[in-house]
Every structure is written in C-alpha cells, then in structure tokens.
Amino acid sequence: MKNYFFYLFLIVLISCADRNKKYCFNASTTDDQISALYIAVSNQDSEINGNLYEQSLITKTRKSGKTPSLKNETEIENYLTEIDSFYRNFKLTAIKDMNLTEDTIIKTFAHNLGINKSFYKYDIDKNGHDDIITTGCFYWPEQKYCSFNSIALMNTGNEYVIKPLLKSHNSSLVPVIIPGNNTFLKIYNPPIAIRGYTLQKGYSTTLTYKFDNFIEYNPNPIQKNIQRIEFGTTPCYGTCPVFQIIIDKNRKAYYIAKYYNFTQKLPEDLAKEEGFFTTNLKNEDFNSIEKIINYLDFNNLKPGYSVYHTDAPSCLLKITYNDGKSKIINDYGLSGTYGLKILYALLTDLRNNQEWIKTDEIEGIRIKDLY
C-alpha cells in the first residue's frame, strides 16, 4: 500500500512538470487537495519530537531605533540575537535544507508552493515598511536535528516586532505571502502523525494582520451582544499560572488567583489560594477584548482543541451573548487558533495591567467546572 502511495505521489510531481508550471499548488489550492496529497504520501511510520520554544502570539520583543534593511540571513540572525539572546540558537534555514526529525512531506509542499528561501520581504500590514517572514531551526546543545520554527518580523519603521507564526511546538508549516490590496499570509500545515496514525490532517489557514497580530481572516464579522466572559486555566507540569478571570458586560471583573500568579512556589496547603480580586476594567482593554471576540466568529469555532504533546496547561473559555446564548471552548495547550491565542493573552495580561482590589470571595462567581 505504501508503494502505491509513493507512485501516486510521483505521478503528481511528473504531471506538474509536464504542465511546465512553477508549482502545482498555489493560493487557490483547497484544503481537500492538501489533505489528499498529505495523506497519500505521509502514511508511513514517523516519530514526532523536538524541543521548540513556545511563545505567546501577543508577546512583543522589540529593538528601538530606525530599523535596518536586513539584507541576508546573517544580518537577520544577528539582529534577532540583539533583540533577545534566546535567538542565538535560531538559524534561518530554507525548508528544503532542513534536517527534520518529523515527516519531510513539508519539504515537498514548500517546493510545490515555490517557497525555496529562508526569508521573504513584503509590506504585509501596508504601513510603508517591508516586513520579513522567516523559516528556520532552533538547534539546542548536542542536538543534531532541526526544531522547526517560523517567525515574522513586523517593521514599524522604528522597530521590528517579533511575531511567532508557529502555534505550538512539535509542528511545522509553510508560510506563503498572498499580495494584493489586502495582503494575506496563507499558512499550510502538514498532518501530524505518529507511527502511521494520523492525529491531524493537513490544512491551510488564511491570516490577516489585525489587532497588531496575525489572525484568521474574517471577511464578514458579526457583532454580538457580549454579556459575560469567563476564562480559567489549569496547571501544567511546571509553574504555569492557574487563575480565573470573569468579566460582565458592564466591565465589572473578578480575578481568582489560585497558584503561580505572584510566586513560583506552590503552597503547602493547596486550599490556600492567592486571593480573590475585583475591579472595573479600563474601557480600552474591555473594548479590545470585545472587538477580538466578535472578529473571531467564536460561535463557529470548535468546542475543543488540543496540542499533541504532554505537560501543557488547559483553559476553559465561556462566552455568554445575545440574551443567554453561550459558547464553551476547552483548549489543551491554549493554541486552538491564532485568534484564540490573542484573546487568551489579552485575558491573561489583565492580571497585571488593571487596578485590582483584594476582597473576600463573592459566592457564585467562580467557574465550577474547572480545576
């Protein structure tokens, strides 16, 4: 059966060459076409591993001053290292040249999509300055193989803002810039498979740059009357903050700090939490959260998402809207969509950017179906 799929894949490549096209797949390629080739070629034993550095999409690491032109890989790598010494382990690499531990079908797709360089420049956000979309590898001490990553450097004219494009580690993607009046970034994701078992089919996502981040493009956002937002996290294998944030439509907010919000130490008595707090959210923060929720088309999102690695935290998001309707999302790994990651980061940041008042816990506020 594997030989059959292999020859099927060769036929696809030969037919591409016969048509004398640069590549067979392009911006109009459908998800079904992507999945068909992925499944046909990648149904073989593979072990996914790696140790990628996972960052929040909303984290902004910047270098002040006039931005340099950054003409080659070395200049980009040196600049990244100046921004954050962590990137000393990051080497720009074209996908075709990567020594990957996972299924190399991504190399075939990069080739068919015409993505043969380690970085591309284009003014994605239409501010008059070229942004940079990169692919590369993190190489950790004594590690021979590439831990894939893809990073966008958004050029404000005065600084570059780092925007990670990889939603979670142990994954890979092919980024393709789609020029036009509204420039998009199309992300092609390969399937995730372990020992021949497909955990996730290949798919593509069209991103736009909005809310200072890359987010799934929504051509027709529908405004809903948001009545209540409930967000809570669970522990990870480490010191991930465990908390709940509840927000009413009048901007009244409640913050239940359980563990690891103010200290990296776990209390001896787990019943002793860090505190219950209340505040009225700042108008601009409340409005930003409400706008992103409405842009997400949240009612059509899946009820559950999961990364395919262990030891990650989970979260629960419940949005009550339009006179009592509700949408509940459980997300293991907090990486369900690009838009959800932005929302999670904004809600998490509320712990530190509001004027909270510690008080006795108010009965009935806490999210009950959560750790």
Pairing of strands 304-306, 325-332: parallel
Q: Which of 50, 69, 210 is nearest to 153 (CA)?
A: 69
Structure tokens at 349: 């940041």
> Residue 276: beta bridge partners?
256, 359
**pTM: predicted TM-score of the whole model, two decimal places:** 0.82
pLDDT score for 48: 25
Structure confidence by residue, pLDDT tens digits, 87-128: 999 999 999 999 876 556 888 889 999 999 999 999 999 999
Percent of the chain with pLDDT strictly greater than 70: 80
Q: How far apart are CA 28 and CA 33, in angstroms?
A: 10
Which domains occur in the chain, in start order? 2-216 (no CATH), 226-359 (3.30.1560)
Tell me the C-alpha distance between 269 and 309, whole Å.
30
**Chain segment 169-197, per-residue pLDDT in tens:** 778 899 999 999 899 999 999 877 666 77
Please indicate whether residue 267 or residue 287 has the higher confidence score (pLDDT).
287
Q: Quote the pLDDT of residue 306.
A: 92
Indicate the SS3 state at residue 125: coil
